[in-house]
Structure 1
Amino acid sequence: MTGKVWLVGAGPGDPGLFTLKGKQVLSEAQVVVYDALVGQGVLNMMPKEAELINVGKRASNHTMPQEEINRVLADKALEGKRVVRLKGGDPFLFGRGGEELELLTSCGIPYEIVPGVTSALSVPAYNGIPVTHRDFCSSLHIVTGHKRKGQAYDIDFDALVRTKGTLVFLMGVSALEDICRGLLQAGMAEDMPAAVLVKGTTSGQKRIVATVSSLKEEVDRQGVETPAIIVVGKVCALAGEFAWYEKLPLAGMKVLVTRPKELISQMSEKLRRKGAEVLELPAVATVPIWPNPALSGCISSLSEYQWIVFTSPAGVRIFFDALAAEHRDVRALGGVRVAAIGGGTAKALAERGIYADLVPEVYDGESLGVALAGRCTGNERILIPRAAAGNQELVNALEKVRGVRVEDIPTYDTVYEKQDFIDERAEFENGSIDYAVFTSASTVRGFAKAVEGLDYSTVSAVCIGKQTQAAAAALGMKTYVAKQASMDSIVEALEKLAARDRTE
């Protein structure tokens, strides 16, 4: 049976600009053939079970020739698979999408096109440059700045200058001097505003604004990295007035987030709203222990417990899944009081209609144990359904109360994960990541496994609590602790660090 190919535009880098349809199609892919220009945030959306093929296309640096890419798409589809060709920007805007369709069409392979947000529009927008403005221009022209090696430009500079419109050159930074010279020779005014926009929509975003006659000199002075685009036109003069992205509190900051996969998106979204670029490293995953006779036995006798203690949102989720598997619901907890280690766990309980009777002021196992021990008279039976490798300080504090019976039931294992398509170790070694966020000691350990061999002194760690900080400090990381054990408090800590970094 013949499969199908989707050509999907991944946008300019910010995963928030990836389309809803693109995300849905990607989530169902069995094979993903992706480019070097696809943003890391979108790469993290690739299905774990999919076959991932990196073709690494970037100007003058192709891991795989275009003809071979075309053949891979066809071959995988002919195997009956759902194939996503994931391309930076839009697949039909200098993305050679049309060439890829030629072979698919000749082979009778069905396909769909999912347009993407192009850098020609989005990158100027993130730099405060409207590519059209009725007071300045009435047209927009997008031109490839790339030329074949050893050949002259096939660009009608005279025609471009006559349009009096905004000009956007993609893939042209290496030929900036030739482009500016061509425009000037065609009669463009020397003082026409022009800009080079570097790594737009990411933490590495940089803007160099000058004139057509001085832009090359200014770029040589300041230096640029790719990817970058060139914008020429009067609208470039508006960048200083309309710039907005760099005003966000975490703009220019790249943050590694290490929460468990099922929780990572919440933390990432909070940081992205503040302007940070987020690199997600799940680091740990929770695997339910099932079947679990010990937990099933506890659920059958819930009325005999005075307290149930939850130490993580994952523990809450897995407990209630087990409750449902036994054909029981929240009514089974009617006479039982509930304790939660912190705000996140309490929120997970509230979402299931249970409001915690006890949440300690300090969100850690020892504090929870001490607080709960203070509520006990000595005749309580306490159930703790949690990770198999749970912190022992919680149990130790409770067992100091004579007569208390503690049943510490493992309900899930914590396993460490590693992704192969992003080299987090290299990201730290080249200074690309400003801070790493850790929400538990287990995420610190998972991170360490994922980046074995890294000099941990290069890592600035923002930790959710003292136990997490201790685990990070033991590896030699530079550590900071949020005032409270919550995602919002972590974001506040990062905002303060960002403000401090900008003044240093």
Structure 2
Amino acid sequence: MNKGKVYLVGAGPGDPSLITLKGVNCIKNADVVVYDRLINQDILSYAREDAELIYFGKKPKSHSIKQDEINRLIIKKAREGKTIVRLKGGDPFIFGRGGEEALALAEKRIPFEIVPGVSSAIAVPTYAGIPLTHRDYASAVTFITGHKKDGSSLPVITKEIASLQGTLVILMGAGNLGSILDDFIRLGKSPSAQIAIISSGTTPRQEILTGTIKELKNKTNTKRVKPPAVIVIGDVVNLSKKLRWYEKKPLFNKKFLITSPEPGASKIASHLENFGAEAIKLPVIKIVPVENFLIIDKAIKEINKYHWIIFTSQNGIDLFMKRFILKGKHLKDFKAIKFAVIGKVTGGKLKKYGIKASFIPKKYNSEALLSGLKKYSLKGKNILIPRAQETSKVLPLGLKKIGAKVDEIVLYRIQNEKVNCNKVKSLLKENNADVVAFTSPSGVKSFFNLFTKKEIIYYFNKISIASIGPVTSKAIEEFEMKADIMPKEYTIKGMVEAIDNYFNNIN
């Protein structure tokens, strides 16, 4: 029997960037990924397109999915000869039942490895500005589970736990918060002991309640604490107000809808998350490569006839270069050709293939690109423009007017994604978005076509609109709306900086 292998991987807490490099590599190589409820969906994007993704999450107080079922599943998949990643929130061996799953694998002689993760017991207090140890406050830390095993008669908080010195960190205690605080006081813990309750830690939804055990026990908002939450008890809690850093990020607690297709959506989200924002990726369009390569292959075969190749998008560069390489061509075949690109980010993409652009306009649009190219002697020159099907005709028509011989080849088309309209409207109606960001006219059209004219007025009454540049802004105006935010430099980085400036001015 060909046995596969299982990797028990700690995914870290809510912030997806806290997963380890080894964890990412395991996911990339997995045939099957079995994941929990608290796994950030962005982490799943590392999985191969052909990987099987299996959700096996359990909600608090829900026992519909037994641990034995999970064990049987990963054993079954391993016996099929597959590589399995069992993805678990935090660290597999800190209240993650990783020990139970590893024992089940060992008993069946299934090969496995444990990949440690950043535990929420450590990361969440850190994001709240609470050092678990400090020479003046605590020299010991104790990790405690906030709920007991099904069927167990043992209490969560015992007299021994209540008498412990140093810092106490309680995980999975939100559902039993009232009884946990009662038990600490009943069993001898000082009611004046400092406590912090951190919910949704390491995410832009992070909330922190601090005070004494007695104060928080009597607070009505304590009753509204929802999981996931980490409870910290000890004098180190006093340092939180001075050491809080995460909540001071400029876009903390701001929510953005990103309408761009991948990989652009993830790039925008990453920039926004670095500023502390929550980015909800909702691609309304997708890039679809052409199925017939005859015209593309003909241009590649005759590549030596061209004097210039002009790229107006990063997608165009990737698709053209991949086909170019696939057809057995090399960089030396470009030796007599000059390249022009629409902006420095596009130029950066070209540089990754070992090619330096001869011309990049100061303004990143077709008009500026055309104006700049007119300074070159292009009359009678052969120019190749690999492009999208829906691209503006400003550039090729302008080049033809000055006597250039232009060949356009379509590499891809923009297609509408299947979008759950009710989900989008719910996000907007419940004030779950502060900004909707657009990076293309096609994205604007696809998004606003989800709504009636009355709905656009209703939903966008209090929501700001960010546009990457004037062409996209013009498309927004066609729906009788206006871009509130537009960068001077028409790049993703420029747009995020403009968003930051916008909210700084408001505040």
1:185 match: 186
Percent identical pairs in the alignment equals 37
Deviation at 1:128, TM superposition (A): 0.5
2:49 match: 48
Of residues 18-27 and 288-297 in structure 1, the stretch that sits farther from structure 2 once superposed is 288-297
Equivalent AA in structure 2 for residue 406 of structure 1: V
In structure 2, C-alpha distance between the alignment counterparts of 1:452 and 1:104, rounded to whole Å: 51
2:352 match: 351
In structure 2, C-alpha distance between the alignment counterparts of 1:429 and 1:49, rounded to whole Å: 36
Contact 2:473 2:482 survives alignment (8 Å):
no
In structure 1, C-alpha distance between the alignment counterparts of 2:73 and 2:417, rounded to whole Å: 28
Deviation at 1:336, TM superposition (A): 3.5
- Alpha carbons of structure 1 residues 317 and 279: separation in structure 2 relative to 1, 3 Å: same
Contact 2:156 2:180 survives alignment (8 Å):
no
Deviation at 1:264, TM superposition (A): 5.0
Contact 1:35 1:58 survives alignment (8 Å):
no
Give the total of aligned pairs: 498
- CA deviation digits over 1:331-390, x for unaligned, max 9? 444444332112211222333444434333432334434543565664343211112332
Contact 1:91 1:115 survives alignment (8 Å):
yes
Deviation at 1:295, TM superposition (A): 3.0
In structure 1, C-alpha distance between the alignment counterparts of 2:477 and 2:444, rounded to whole Å: 10
- Are 2:494 and 1:489 aligned? yes
Contact 1:343 1:485 survives alignment (8 Å):
no
In structure 2, C-alpha distance between the alignment counterparts of 1:207 and 1:478, rounded to whole Å: 37
Deviation at 1:416, TM superposition (A): 5.5
- Alpha carbons of structure 1 residues 498 and 27: separation in structure 2 relative to 1, 3 Å: farther
Equivalent AA in structure 1 for residue 129 of structure 2: G
1:466 to 447, 458, 470: 470
- Are 2:374 and 1:386 aligned? no
In structure 2, C-alpha distance between the alignment counterparts of 1:348 and 1:73, rounded to whole Å: 40
- CA deviation digits over 1:415-458, x for unaligned, max 9? 556799xx777655544444343332344567679x89996645
Contact 2:198 2:209 survives alignment (8 Å):
yes
Contact 1:34 1:87 survives alignment (8 Å):
yes
Equivalent AA in structure 1 for residue 469 of structure 2: G
1:338 match: 339
- Are 2:98 and 1:93 aligned? no
- Alpha carbons of structure 1 residues 152 and 498: separation in structure 2 relative to 1, 3 Å: farther
2:115 match: 114
Deviation at 1:282, TM superposition (A): 6.0
1:29 match: 30
In structure 2, C-alpha distance between the alignment counterparts of 1:22 and 1:238, rounded to whole Å: 32
Deviation at 1:238, TM superposition (A): 0.5
In structure 2, C-alpha distance between the alignment counterparts of 1:446 and 1:463, rounded to whole Å: 15
2:309 match: 308
Deviation at 1:53, TM superposition (A): 1.7
- TM normalised by structure 1 equals 0.87
Of residues 487-496 and 302-311 in structure 1, the stretch that sits farther from structure 2 once superposed is 302-311
What does residue range 262-277 of structure 1 map to in structure 2 within 5 Å? Answer: 262-277=263-278
Of residues 120-129 and 306-315 in structure 1, the stretch that sits farther from structure 2 once superposed is 306-315
- CA deviation digits over 1:295-347, x for unaligned, max 9? 33334444543432111122223333344345444444444433211221122
In structure 2, C-alpha distance between the alignment counterparts of 1:69 and 1:452, rounded to whole Å: 42
- Alpha carbons of structure 1 residues 46 and 285: separation in structure 2 relative to 1, 3 Å: same
1:65 match: 66
RMSD between superposed Cα atoms in Å? 3.3
- CA deviation digits over 1:233-290, x for unaligned, max 9? 1110100111111222233234444555345554444333333344445665545547
Contact 1:41 1:280 survives alignment (8 Å):
no
Equivalent AA in structure 2 for residue 391 of structure 1: S
1:294 match: 295
Equivalent AA in structure 1 for residue 205 of structure 2: G
Contact 2:12 2:19 survives alignment (8 Å):
yes
In structure 2, C-alpha distance between the alignment counterparts of 1:226 and 1:373, rounded to whole Å: 61
- Match of 1:214, SS state, is helix
Deviation at 1:105, TM superposition (A): 3.2
- Match of 1:197, SS state, is strand
Contact 1:444 1:468 survives alignment (8 Å):
yes
In structure 2, C-alpha distance between the alignment counterparts of 1:221 and 1:86, rounded to whole Å: 31
In structure 2, C-alpha distance between the alignment counterparts of 1:117 and 1:247, rounded to whole Å: 22
- Match of 2:188, SS state, is coil
Contact 2:175 2:226 survives alignment (8 Å):
no
In structure 2, C-alpha distance between the alignment counterparts of 1:87 and 1:42, rounded to whole Å: 11
Deviation at 1:202, TM superposition (A): 0.4
What does residue range 211-222 of structure 1 map to in structure 2 within 5 Å? Answer: 211-218=212-219, 220=221
Equivalent AA in structure 2 for residue 407 of structure 1: D
Contact 2:467 2:495 survives alignment (8 Å):
yes
- Alpha carbons of structure 1 residues 221 and 265: separation in structure 2 relative to 1, 3 Å: closer
* Unaligned 5+ runs, structure 2: none
- Match of 2:253, SS state, is coil
